[in-house]
Structures are given as C-alpha cells and as structure tokens.
Chain A
Amino acid sequence: SYVLTQPPSVSVAPGQTARITCGGNNIGSVHWYQQRPGQAPVLVINNDSDRPSGIPERFSGSKSGNTATLTISRVETGDEADYYCQVWDSRSDHYVFGPGTKVTVL
C-alpha cells in the first residue's frame, strides 16, 4: 500500500515560518488539512499549492520531486494543530493520509 511520510512534530516561535514536509514515491497531487484539537479537519491547501476560499494567505504549498511542503508564514498561536497531507492512490483506488505533524507554537 502507498505510504506518505511526515515529521511527527514541528515547533516554531510566533511570527516565524513553519515548514511541514510530506514524502511519497512518485507522489501525485497533495492536499493538506489542519485539525485543531477536538475539531474536524479543514482543507487548507489542495492540488499541491491552491488555497481554498477563506484560508489565510499565510498558508502556502509547494512540491518538488517526491516531496510536498506546507509552509505557514508569520505563525500565530491559532495555527497550533495537527496537519495531515493526503493523496489519491490510483493503483489501489484508495485515499491515503500521511501520519500527521503536530505544530507547536512556542
């Protein structure tokens, strides 16, 4: 089965930049979700780098080779959450999530 890798945790000071990576073999279009404690996930980036309506411009996405990156600029305390990357595995017709990265704002 297809596997995505993410760092378990990222720590960042307020106002600084957080970068979360997501790796996978021949990785396709990557989507990113933010999940605050006790809440449902929210889509923050789709198709590698598109930002849905209502998502702050501080959130951006990119991809190079087999690694996608979610970048959160000018981090705020409200950005403290778990972040998951996700792809569609066409070989198995399965959706696949990464293990998640916990972002801590120091």
Chain B
Amino acid sequence: EVQLVESGGGLVKPGGSLRLSCAASGLTFSTYSMNWVRQAPGKGLEWVSSISSTSSSIYYADSVKGRFTISRDNAKNSLYLQMNSLRADDTAVYYCARVSSTIVGDMWGQGTLVTVFS
C-alpha cells in the first residue's frame, strides 16, 4: 500500500523557519516526481513546489519562490520542504503528493498544519 506521511508542521512566528518532511512507503520513490500542495484554512488548493525524480528539475509557485526550498533524499524515501521567512499567509495544511504526468497528485498524504502567528 502506498503511504505518504508528512511531519514537521507546527507553530512558528513570522520571519521564522520550518522544515517539513514527507516519508514515502509502498512505492519506488526514486522514480517519481513529487509535489507540495497547501491549503489555507477555508480556502482552496494551491500548488507550492515540484521536484523531479533525480532533483534535476525544480519549480516553485511565485508566492514562495526565494523563501522555500524543496529537496529529496531517495536513499531515505523522503521529500522535504524548507520554509524560511514565513509569513502569516503561509498558514496552511501542507500536503505531499505523488506526481503522475500532468497530474498534481495521484496519491496524497494526510497533510501537516503550519501556523504562522505572532
């Protein structure tokens, strides 16, 4: 069974940093591109960042470019999102998702909540 489990969410002050992790199991992680997608409270889905299977291609939404860094460790079957210079509008549930062609995610984790407040 494919499982994606996010962790690392929590409370952080504006300007602070947080690192999210996504542990993958039940799939050959190294062969898949991966995404981070977020959802602010009561709002819709927003794509955040993508990374190819070998980390050779990385993309960011304009709203996080220059502040967030996506990475992966295929040996550990893990995906990461380093979030710096956090703002109140970064408050959201962050999901990791497995990419399939142009599909954001054919499999999703349950999400981890990030709250930025002073």
Contacts and interface: CB of A to CB of B under 8 A. Distances in A.
Contact of A94 (B47, B101, B106): B47
A28 B45 contact: no
B103 A97 contact: no
B45 A97 contact: yes
A95 B35 contact: yes
A53 to B, nearest CB: 10
Nearest to B57: A93
Q: Summarize B's interface: helix, strand, loop or mixed.
A: strand
Interface in A59-106: 82, 84, 86-88, 93-100
- Central interface residue in A1, A31, A96, by most chain B CB within 10 Å: A31
B106 A52 contact: yes
Contact of B109 (A1, A40, A47): A40
Interface residues of B, number: 22
Contacts of B37: 41
Contacts of B105: 41, 43
Interface string B14-49: 000000000000000000000101000000111100
B50 A40 contact: no
Question: Main SS of chain A's interface residues?
Answer: strand
A29 interface: yes
Nearest to B48: A95
Contacts of A29: 102
B44 A97 contact: yes
B88 interface: no
B37 to A, nearest CB: 8
B82 interface: no
Given A86-B104, A100-B45, 19 more contacts: A31-B103, A31-B104, A33-B45, A40-B108, A40-B109, A41-B95, A41-B105, A41-B108, A42-B108, A43-B106, A46-B100, A84-B44, A87-B102, A94-B59, A94-B61, A95-B50, A95-B104, A97-B44, A99-B44
15 contacts: A28-B102, A31-B102, A33-B45, A33-B104, A39-B110, A40-B95, A40-B109, A41-B105, A42-B108, A43-B105, A94-B47, A95-B35, A95-B50, A97-B104, A99-B44
